[in-house]
Structure 1
Amino acid sequence: MTRAVKFLTLLFALLLMTTMAQAETVKRYSLASGMIEYEVTGGGNVLGMISETRGRSTLYFKNYGDVTLEEQETTTTMSGMVSKEDKAHTMKKIDHVTVYTVDFERKKINKGTDPIASQYLASGKNMSTDSEAQLQKMGGKKIGTEKVLGYSCEVWSLMGGKQWLYKGQVPLRIEAEVMGMKSGMIAVKATFSKSVPDSKFQLPDYKIEVSPDYVSGGQALQQGEEMNEFGAMMGDMQAQMNANPNMTEAEQTAIMMQAMSNSNQGKNQLQQQKDQMPKMLQVMKHMETCLSKASSQANADHCEKESSRLAKQLGLDDDEFSDDEDPLVWNKNTKKQILSELKEGIQSMEQMIPCIEKAQNMMDMMKCNQEM
């Protein structure tokens, strides 16, 4: 999944969480129920890598949003130095304040708590009528009204993107652009205030595990505070953009990246990169040494397994060395090219690490990448 699609998904999740608690019902919407089908698009050109994303997404809700289910399936094709196709399938169900996130690859379901809903329940505030205040807090600005599928929507400008919200809460269209990567999601079918079949809220028959990120109410409140920090950060960025309507796209991106760099999440990500890059370099060198001696496909497969084992021992993220990548094809025609690309990657990382070690924020780290 591309950065832009991930960012779009985060914005979509934030919209679904800007809602309410009345008695024992978390009233996320002023509408009793809804079934929406979306078309998902995206793509762009970043550093010579061209990507295109296509897919579909659905949102079902009942009891004024006390129960919701989101599902999205996308395919992203990338071309350039490396050609690749990445398929993503996500599903999230919220039942009152309990969140179920489906991991289709590992065939399990993480169970946790909706931190925003928990905060509203504790405060007694109305979530469904507080959505506009939340959008304004994040720096959103209402810029007009337009129809989507015949439904009159408020159009909001937020962080250089736009959102079309029915009844001020339900997203029927979203457009976003992050670092040159465009993402879009538009409703192609929508029905409201009609009975939604229980089958639409069913989860796969996977094992349910309690997510370590959402074990207790205290942790849920902490996540809510992180959401608040994100909202305040976006509000500050939007205010700067509103003050300078002639700001270029590059200047908007710079403001956004600078704000993210100074956030707690940005600082944590920077430290993670500093910790992981020397370990990744170690794995790459191990792979190069092993492959340089490989004389058969079996030898090459063994090198891959050993490198993957070393990565896990060093505590690297499984996604960095995923078994889902295209298999390594090893023969006399591919050996020279693979070793050359691996050596080039090692040299680039060796040049980059000293710069990253000196980086004070994420902007500094990105400059290290651009200077290589």
Structure 2
Amino acid sequence: MKKFVISVLLLSACSLFAQNNRYDIKSGIVEYDILGVTNSKDHTFSGSSTLYFKDFGNIELFDEIIIQKRGSMVEEERNTYKISKGKIYTADFNDEIIYSQELSVDDENPIANTKNREAFKEMGAKFLGNENVLGYKCDIWELGEYKIWVYNSVMLKQISKSLGIEQIQIAKNANFNIDIKDNKFKLPNFPVKAIDVIIGEGEED
């Protein structure tokens, strides 16, 4: 379950608005580099992620790999989720299971609510201006410890700070309004279990 919670909190590459079109672009593939800066020279992390979406985000897959180094110890973590037909499916590679849950607006995660100017303003975000990322003109917003660069509701860059760690996620490749093969949206062949069923089983125990 810990892995599931971590995966949900890493939905920074998408907007979870319960609307017909979650993005203002029909389809896209965005590849990101991830870099972490910590207060300790012995603790570093880096990684990469890829976002695939079509049908304006009603079908989406996000795959991320983070590598952390603490001294001589190296730890790799993979976070993968898929959005389809109003549900989100999160893959747990440790337990080899996929958790399913109804898709809804995440009030606890402000980055999950990035959609457009009106949404940012309602959350009290500060507009900082515009900047190009990969040649795409982005709006820059600041909300708490987050800075987000957004192009047509798609995040292309993000800087966040938490517990002494600064994480930078920036797109290195982005292609929009293209045909994407269905196999890009496949999850691992793990059994699927609904979160509400797991919660119910926990309450019974």
Whether the TM-score (by the shorter chain) exceeds 0.5 is yes
Question: How many angstroms does 1:90 deviate by?
Answer: 0.9
Q: Deviations over 1:250-301 (max 9, x none)?
A: xxxxxxxxxxxxxxxxxxxxxxxxxxxxxxxxxxxxxxxxxxxxxxxxxxxx
- 8 Å CA contact 1:19–1:130 kept in 2: the answer is no
Q: Relative to 1, partners in 2 of residues 1:50 and 1:165: Cα closer, same or farther, differing over 3 Å?
A: same
Aligned pair in 2 of structure 1 residues 130, 86: CA closer, same or farther (>3 Å)? closer
Give, in angstroms, the shift of residue 129 of structure 1.
Answer: 10
Corresponding residue for residue 163 of structure 2: 179
Match of 2:26?
Answer: 32
- Residue 25 of structure 2 aligns to a residue whose secondary structure is coil
Compared with structure 1, are the counterparts of its residues 189 and 129 closer, same or farther at alpha carbon in structure 2 (3 Å cutoff)? closer
CA distance in 1, matches of 2:131, 2:101: 36
Q: Deviations over 1:68-101 (max 9, x none)?
A: 111100100013xxx5322100100000311110
Structure 1 counterpart of 2:104, from 106, 110, 115: 115
Equivalent residue for 1:142, pick from 106, 120, 127: 127
Matched, 1:100 2:85: no
Q: Which amino acid in the other structure matches residue 132 of structure 1?
A: R
Give the aligned partner of residue 86 of structure 1. 75
Change (3 A) 1:44 1:207: same
Q: Give the drift of 1:51.
A: 1.6
Shift of 1:11: 6.2
Unaligned runs of 5+ in 1: 1-5, 22-26, 118-127, 216-314, 316-372
Matches within 5 A, 1:197-346: 197-212=181-196
> How far apart in 2 are the matches of 1:183 and 1:147?
20
Bigger relative contact order, structure 1 or 2, given CA contacts below 8 A and separation 6+?
2
**Which of 176, 189, 200 is the equivalent residue of 1:192?**
176
CA distance in 1, matches of 2:144, 2:114: 22
User: Number of residues paired by the alignment?
Assistant: 190
Task: Determine the C-alpha separation between the residues in 2 that align with 1:92 and 1:109.
Answer: 9
More strand by share: 2
% same residue = 30
| 1:73 match | 65
| Structure 1 contact 19–29 (Cα < 8 Å) conserved | no
Query: Deviation digits for residues 172-225 of structure 1, max 9, x if unmatched?
Result: 00011113211011000000001111111011111111112798xxxxxxxxxx
CA positional deviation for 1:140 = 1.2
- Residue 131 of structure 1 corresponds to 116
Structure 2: 5+ residue runs without aligned partners?
Answer: 1-5, 107-112, 200-204
| Superimposed CA distance per residue, residues 30-86 of structure 1 (whole angstroms, 9 cap, x where no aligned partner) | 1100100000110302xx68421111101110001110111100100013xxx5322
2:22 maps to a residue whose letter is R
